[in-house]
Chain A
Amino acid sequence: MAETVKLLGTKGSPYSHRAEVALRLKEVNFEFLHEDLAHKSDMLLRYNPIHKKIPVLVHEEKSIVESLIVVEYVHEAFNGYAILPSDPYERAMARFWARYIDEKVIPAFWMSCWTDGEMQKGFIGQAKEALTILESQLKGKKFFGGDSIGFVDLAAGMVAFWFGILQEVAGISLLNEEDYPVLCRWADDYCSVEAVKESLLDRKLLVAHFASKKEKIFATKAPVYD
């Protein structure tokens, strides 16, 4: 019987992106169900009643939620590409850095885009420090995962593709080649990987999307990823 794998997500969401890339790396046949986050489907509410968020992976009628948990599940449940390293210590490091991206890099960068004045200066300082620390983890490697992309690269997908778009819309220049040459080179390499390219929306469309939501995001600071 064919595996029934469905991914509830949106092309605009970097969290949905993580799950999608994981499935593509494993060459899993899946159905992408695009969610309208302004009008959440019954399916989404049924499969993620607690958080009501995307991505949601549905595999044989069982649902898995939270993007990094979905990626670990895909790594474990399907054969093929190794998204996580096999060594326990290397795995611990991968998990540590994925959390770092979620807890330090993304929030500081996001708030840098959508605040102003003294508050923005504070966030920019935090974001710069976090990006410097993240960049240092590349340490001469092509990807965080080594020669090929892995868990941390997927976690950092937002840095690779969304950060450039967000800062363009917000009118700031935080992640630039002059300050972060290694991270910018990594971003280009990451976006060139086949499984990633297939998952990414056209850049112009995403710029237009965030530009159209700019005022709303500035007011609420809440992401709008659909």
Chain B
Amino acid sequence: MAEDELKLLGMWASPFVIRVRMMLEEKGLSYEYIEQDLFNKSELLLKHNPIHKKVPVLIHGDRDICESLVILQYIDEKWSGTGPPVLPVDPYDRAIARFWALYIDDKLLPSFIGFMKAATEEAKAEKIADTQTALELLEGAFQKCSAGKDFFGGDSTGYLDVTLGSHLAWIKTTEIMSGAKLLDETKVPLLVDWAKRFITLDCAKKTLPSVDRVEKYARELQVTRWKVATAN
């Protein structure tokens, strides 16, 4: 493979993959996307991510980079002169962005996925409440990071925009499946506006799956993997 060829091993529903695709799109970088079947892992995936056997894997020439947030920072540093910056320049702003990205994946994601895996109404309600709490904290984060501008990254989308943006399809699916409002304009108005703006961007339109598709997939997982009885 040519030295500068880019390939991405991914899966259409994975927010971790989606955020990398969003950033590659924002940077205007062309790459070959190779969809993976995570229930039947390919030789290619096992070869390029032998340790975790997960997606995304960015293959750059003969090098493999794994873990979505590691990949985003790699893209930032390798292509710093191309397209918008991924992380801010100031060390403190970078630390804040890194903190909230971890929070999104460690607290927000387990909350709404936890809802999907919950067996009882009580457990479901608890997870919805956790999700709402996390989003309220992220509202504060948006206020701080955006400093009055359109995105977490300021004038252009950055690290946090794609990290949170990559979860939008699943968040909306959770709203439909729970009947609860998560992106509630009375509780998180800034995030609601940000989300409306974000989904109109090319990077989002080209990578976010439809809510219908995610819902169908989530319901399949509930039956086949998470062994949770569904209401329908």
Contacts and interface: CB of A to CB of B under 8 A. Distances in A.
Interface of A: 50, 59, 62, 64-66, 69-70, 72-73, 76-77, 88-89, 91-92, 95-96, 99-100, 133
A157 B178 CA distance: 44
Contacts, number: 55
A69 B94 CA distance: 9
Nearest to A50: B137
B8 to A, nearest CB: 15
A112 B102 CA distance: 26
A88 B74 contact: yes
B39 interface: no
16 contacts: A50-B103, A64-B95, A65-B99, A69-B98, A69-B102, A70-B95, A72-B94, A73-B91, A76-B94, A77-B92, A89-B60, A91-B77, A92-B70, A92-B74, A95-B67, A96-B65
Nearest to B77: A88
B91 A92 contact: no
Contact size range, B:
20 to 34
Interface of A is mostly: helix
B78 interface: yes
B67 A96 contact: yes
A59 B70 CA distance: 25
Contacts of B95: 64, 69-70, 72-73
A63 B87 CA distance: 18
Contact of B92 (A66, A73, A100): A73
Nearest to B103: A50
Main secondary structure of the interface of B (DSSP, over half): helix
B98 A72 contact: yes
Given A76-B94, A88-B74, 13 more contacts: A64-B95, A64-B99, A65-B99, A69-B95, A69-B102, A72-B98, A73-B95, A77-B91, A77-B92, A89-B60, A91-B73, A95-B67, A99-B67
B147 to A, nearest CB: 15
Nearest to A51: B103
A91 B92 CA distance: 19
A76 B71 contact: no
A91 B77 CA distance: 9
B145 interface: no
A69 B100 CA distance: 11
Interface in B23-80: 51, 60, 63, 65-67, 69-71, 73-74, 77-78
Given A91-B74, A95-B73, A96-B67, A73 B94 contact: yes
Given A89-B63, A91-B73, A96-B70, A66 B102 contact: yes
Contacts of A64: 92, 95, 99
Given A65-B99, A66-B99, A133-B51, A76 B74 contact: no
Nearest to A74: B91
Nearest to A64: B95
A95 to B, nearest CB: 5
